[in-house]
Structure 1
Amino acid sequence: MRSGQQSDVLKIFAYVAGTLILGAFLAPWLYQAGKGLAEVFAGKEGNKAIEWLADAARRSDFPRFFNRAVMLSAIILIFPLLSWLRLGRPPGSFRDTPWSLPLPDHAVVTDRGQPLHRNPHGWVQFGTGFFLAAGLLLFSGWVMVQSGCFVWRDMTHSTRGVRMPTSLLETIEWGKAVKKALPAALVIGLIEETLFRGVLFGIFLRAMRPAPAIAILSFLFAFVHFLEPPAGVVIADPEASGAGFVMLGKIFARFGDPMPMVSSFLVLSAVGVVLAYSRYRTASLWLPVGLHFGWVFGEKIFKAATWVVPGLPREVHWFVGETLKEGLLPFSVVAVTGILVHAMTRAREPIAGYRS
């Protein structure tokens, strides 16, 4: 990006920052509204939709309301963002604007960055991505069970002989788990890939070369997913006007702890790199959607079928976390997946009629 020029990339980061600030401001108000609705409709029968909403609010804690406030803020601010992205852009070729930088000759470079193209092998790439991501991830989960880091929910002892509490013993309902995980994973894959690799990656490629575009977008992807409230976090006064900013402070405090940074943020960044690279190599969303679908599906199935074994030494958590999204072992699985993605795809040739 040229010095002194507003870039679409900086506008995206400003949008993320604005979303967090607005979400933190709205969170306590949303919490009070939700709990008030729950009290009003407690034990009453009426409109099914309102009754469902009141029940959900009754069962939710402040971190959940914080998440919903951030999501609401993202929706509210998306409209001014879309308008802002068009500010100062004169009609005509994007090549003639100060946001344009030359990309490598081998890349598909146009005035629109790298456009998405019709993919005749889309369904094959989608299926291959799904089975590749889910298969490798679940295989790594099986390895973790065999090593004693996780235990099947219907087993009384781990492979290392650690006895599990009887209260955790339950039958694994594989059919129910698959039925629940499939649609959720597919929806997450479609929405996030359309946003991150479909829209944002195209914007990033307008401003910079593919390598930094992939790196920065992957950092943003990991950052957004890393903003989950820490497990078990408690806000003393969730109705206070500054409660959302207290929560935001606790979330950002995780960035100062090397354990979650290595075990979680590193894995999320690697996932973002593989997804963006697969989109760049194929100029379509079929493969990244399939990969994302497979990773989310595999993680949900494994979570529904296992418990993490308690009392593991702290050093083990550098390699294996509490889910398949944490630790150096899942990172290595993502890295292997990326190598296979590189092997099964090829860089697209420049399209005739487009300038590079």
Structure 2
Amino acid sequence: MARWLQSDVLKIFLYVAGSLTLAAWISPWLYNVGMGLAEVTEGKETNGVIAWLGEHARRSKDNFPRFFDRSFLLASVVLLFPLLSWLKMGRGSGSYRDTPWSLRLPDSVVAMNRGQALRRNPSGLSQALIGFFVAAGLLLVAGWLMLQAGIFMWRDAAVSTGGVPNPLLMEIDWGKAFRKALPTALVVATLEEVLFRGVLLGIFLRAMRPAPAIATLSFLFAFVHFLEPPVGVRVPDPEAADAGFVLLGQIFSRFADPFSMLGRFLVLASVGVVLAIARWRTASLWLPIGLHAGWVFSHVIFKSATWPVAGLPELVRWFVGASLLEGLLPLTIMVITGIVVAMLTRVPDEGEKV
């Protein structure tokens, strides 16, 4: 039991649970402080930062989930320092470079029973570019097929290919879409890959064999991204002390929804699996960063240029949801991308196979 309690994998899961609990507790307080700032700064000249916070709070008055998101981020940062200290418990002293926190380790200090270290990758940039174009290309081709099938429509088209009228006709600003999509893709992909596939997968690989490590981390990756509140969710009394826990209950209710699990959670989990395999088979973050950036880029571009068509049969929504990353068809695209990644990457040495 003592050994299990010292498991770094358990500590990571407890850290996520603790961050959620703390966020649920402090989010009503953050909401009340925000509404106070909104009231005090309305129509008055004050400090620039205070005025910006007040304006931001006013715009989010009816959006309590946004305060919960900020609370979760704050809780994650606050609890990160105890986590880092806890992860060192029960360990002997060691070099900083002999840890999964290091971005690269020389072969001479890598022990087989201590997981897989990230190594220098001379082909890193080309792998990142290949990953980007493979991921973005396959997902955008799927999006084009959805447009032809009448499941989505261009924002500037009067009707979809199925003859459904456009409820909100508007011009597509491709320049603005690209300027938003590319930086977003690069920043999100880099930060998340350093955290999930760089740090966390390194920790998980030290605690278990590659296959369960990849599966466990992919579940955690999907779970964290699945915490986004349902569209249109409302908390009856955001000022109540239990408002955060009410919202948390609504978020967790999605796990009982078959469509959410098959159409969203499994897609996220498959994304995590493909990225983890890419990291493990190349022992670097270049390929997963490229893949991740390609998916984010194509998702943002497609969302900026199209609308989902309303009124389609329920069966259609099981295959394609309201975005490029929802439904059984996107899940199939992730599987195909994983097969392509497996074909492009090296075969692991004997004894390292997943």
Please, what TM-score do these two structures have when normalized by structure 2? 0.91
The equivalent of 1:158 in structure 2 is 160
Cα pair 2:153 2:308 within 8 Å, conserved = yes
Correspondences of 1:1-356 after superposition (within 5 Å) = 4=4, 6-60=6-60, 61-91=63-93, 110=112, 112-165=114-167, 168-349=168-349
Letter of the aligned partner of 1:145 in structure 2? L
SS, match of residue 213 in structure 1: helix
For 1:217 and 1:4, the matched residues in 2 are separated by 17
SS, match of residue 324 in structure 1: coil
SS, match of residue 151 in structure 1: strand
CA shift for structure 1 position 197: 0.2
Cα pair 1:25 1:242 within 8 Å, conserved = yes
The equivalent of 2:98 in structure 1 is none
Cα pair 1:41 1:54 within 8 Å, conserved = yes
Cα pair 1:35 1:57 within 8 Å, conserved = yes
Q: Alpha-carbon deviations, 1:121-166, whole Å to 9, x = none?
A: 010011111111111111111110110000000011110111122x
For 1:171 and 1:278, the matched residues in 2 are separated by 38
CA shift for structure 1 position 348: 4.7
Q: Specify whether residues 37 and 5 from structure 1 end up closer, same or farther in structure 2 by C-alpha distance, changes over 3 A only.
A: closer
For 1:17 and 1:39, the matched residues in 2 are separated by 34
For 1:241 and 1:295, the matched residues in 2 are separated by 38
CA shift for structure 1 position 21: 0.2
Q: Which runs of 5+ in 1 are unaligned?
A: 94-107, 351-356
Cα pair 2:4 2:10 within 8 Å, conserved = no
Q: Alpha-carbon deviations, 1:262-319, whole Å to 9, x = none?
A: 0000100000000000000000000001111110111011000000001011111110
For 1:169 and 1:109, the matched residues in 2 are separated by 60
Q: Report the number of matched residues.
A: 335
Q: Alpha-carbon deviations, 1:225-259, whole Å to 9, x = none?
A: 00011110010100000000000000000000101
Letter of the aligned partner of 1:64 in structure 2? R
Cα pair 2:151 2:309 within 8 Å, conserved = yes
For 2:331 and 2:44, the matched residues in 1 are separated by 49
Letter of the aligned partner of 1:219 in structure 2? F
Q: Alpha-carbon deviations, 1:175-216, whole Å to 9, x = none?
A: 100001111111110111000000000000001000000000
CA shift for structure 1 position 45: 3.1
Kindly indicate whether structure 1 or structure 2 has the higher relative contact order, using CA contacts under 8 Å at least 6 residues apart.
Answer: 1
CA shift for structure 1 position 55: 1.5
Cα pair 1:153 1:172 within 8 Å, conserved = yes
For 1:212 and 1:269, the matched residues in 2 are separated by 13
Cα pair 2:6 2:90 within 8 Å, conserved = no
Please, what TM-score do these two structures have when normalized by structure 1? 0.91
For 1:138 and 1:49, the matched residues in 2 are separated by 40
Letter of the aligned partner of 2:125 in structure 1? W
The equivalent of 1:103 in structure 2 is none
For 2:248 and 2:281, the matched residues in 1 are separated by 36
Cα pair 1:282 1:347 within 8 Å, conserved = no
CA shift for structure 1 position 82: 0.3
SS, match of residue 66 in structure 1: helix
For 2:48 and 2:187, the matched residues in 1 are separated by 24
For 1:247 and 1:289, the matched residues in 2 are separated by 32
Cα pair 2:30 2:67 within 8 Å, conserved = yes
Cα pair 1:148 1:309 within 8 Å, conserved = yes
Cα pair 1:181 1:301 within 8 Å, conserved = yes
Letter of the aligned partner of 1:87 in structure 2? M
Q: Which runs of 5+ in 2 are unaligned?
A: 96-109
Q: Specify whether residues 118 and 250 from structure 1 end up closer, same or farther in structure 2 by C-alpha distance, changes over 3 A only.
A: same
Q: Specify whether residues 318 and 43 from structure 1 end up closer, same or farther in structure 2 by C-alpha distance, changes over 3 A only.
A: same
SS, match of residue 17 in structure 1: helix
Q: Specify whether residues 4 and 194 from structure 1 end up closer, same or farther in structure 2 by C-alpha distance, changes over 3 A only.
A: closer
RMSD: 1.8
For 1:2 and 1:129, the matched residues in 2 are separated by 42
CA shift for structure 1 position 54: 1.9
Cα pair 1:283 1:348 within 8 Å, conserved = no
For 2:300 and 2:39, the matched residues in 1 are separated by 33
Identity rate of aligned residues, in percent?
A: 63
For 2:75 and 2:231, the matched residues in 1 are separated by 23
Cα pair 1:278 1:341 within 8 Å, conserved = yes
CA shift for structure 1 position 323: 0.6
Moved more, 150-159 or 36-45: 36-45
Cα pair 1:282 1:345 within 8 Å, conserved = yes
